[in-house]
A = this chain, B = another copy of it.
Amino acid sequence: MAKGSLPVSPLAPAAFPRLGAIAGVRLATAAAGVRYKGRTDVLLAAFDAGTTVAGVLTRSKTRSAPVDWCRLGLDGGKGARGLLVNSGNANAFTGRAGAAAAEATAKAAAKVLGVQPKTLFLASTGVIGEVLPAERVVAALDGLNAGLSPDGWEAAARAIMTTDTFAKGASATAEIDGTTVTINGIAKGSGMIAPDMATMLCFVATDAKIPAPVLQALLKPAAERSFNSITVDGDTSTSDTLLVFATGAIRHAPVREARDPRLKAFAQALEAVLTDLALQVVRDGEGATKLISIEVTGATSTAAARRIGLAIANSPLVKTAIAGGDANWGRVVMAVGKSGERADRDSIAIWMGGLPVAADGAVHPAYDEAAATAHVRGTDISIRVDVGVGKARARVWTCDLTHGYIDINADYRS
């Protein structure tokens, strides 16, 4: 499907945020014609020597060839010197030919940058089941290398879009022992947003100097609470890739472990950037007209709370009720029940928009259906459920399920 054929999400931010340069990072984009015509579809990023990297990759059993390649790079521990991303083709379920295409583009990009192939990271997003036309990407590399510049974060965010309706970026600063560092991030996607497209991609860069194991230790819980806590349709991409690059260009006190208290502000800023980007992905969810925040409390563990939250967030009946402006809390009860996690039916309490809806396993005596309906008819919906068996909590986000979802995924053809 041609980009631009979908209207911009009603939940889109007013503008792309200001993302300044990150010392040690240079960017370039090109129109290589991988699949789309008349738009950029390749991003090349170059990182200065000494850049560390951490990553979270899809757990899909049918992961793409670029995901396999990134796993080698992360495990290799040689750091990161480059990132090559294309949109229009996911290079997933493409067998040996796909793996060869991934390796060919990585080696060619490493060559133009003058770095080791294992320090060149890859991501591809788009149609599943077709081998990446590596020659088109390779043909664009010299031009990309010549055009590398510290600016161009918005252009980078645009080049990795498939049928996203807006470009997604976020930035934050934090102090490490008195020195200010910056974190920039871009992302694309919304689950599997378009007919035969796939993937969520997120790339973050910072000028902080963080050893790779420390960066990985900071990334994992932040990813759990941000990208691993959103869902649009419950369909997991073959290509989900979240990479964080730390160039170390800013001189600050050395940090050697994730629990170093001087990293607390950085960890918070990293999670803020990831959460901002994750919520932009939900706001660009297929057909989304409402952003839904679901907080689960009183669970036996954080993981259990998250699974209960995702059971609610993935329930088509909950999502269609909210799309219809119906405060149908019985469906929330249903979703808690089917989650498979422990919950005490006769202690469950529910709030919508802060209003008491249910308590002690039945409707709340003060339940005001008109007020709850008014809340659900807005665009920013909050649901809280206490399941009454423990002290753990988690928050997840989703969007509503509307005719727009069916339009995008069934009626439109690529």
State which of A102-110, A171-179, A181-189, A311-319 sits at the interface with chain B: A311-319
Instruction: Indicate if the CB atoms of A362 and B93 lie closer than 8 Å.
Output: yes
The A contact surface, by secondary structure, is loop
Instruction: Give the nearest-CB partner of A95 in chain B.
Output: B362
A63 at the interface (CB under 8 A from B): yes
Contact with B along A177-215 (1 / 0, CB 8 A): 000000000000000100110100000000000000000
Number of interface residues of A (CB under 8 A): 67
A300 at the interface (CB under 8 A from B): no
Q: CA A103 – CA B338 in complex, angstroms?
A: 25
A326 at the interface (CB under 8 A from B): yes
A240 to chain B: closest CB distance in Å? 10
- A interface residues with partner B (beta carbon < 8 Å): 58, 60-63, 92-95, 97-98, 127-130, 192, 195-196, 198, 233-238, 314-317, 320-321, 323-324, 326, 328-331, 333-343, 345-346, 348, 358, 360-363, 401-403, 405-406, 409-413
Interface CB pairs A-B, < 8 A, 30: A58-B337, A61-B337, A61-B339, A61-B340, A61-B342, A62-B333, A62-B343, A93-B348, A93-B358, A95-B362, A127-B330, A128-B333, A129-B333, A129-B362, A130-B363, A192-B317, A192-B331, A196-B326, A234-B316, A235-B316, A235-B317, A235-B334, A316-B401, A316-B409, A320-B410, A324-B409, A324-B413, A326-B413, A402-B410, A403-B403
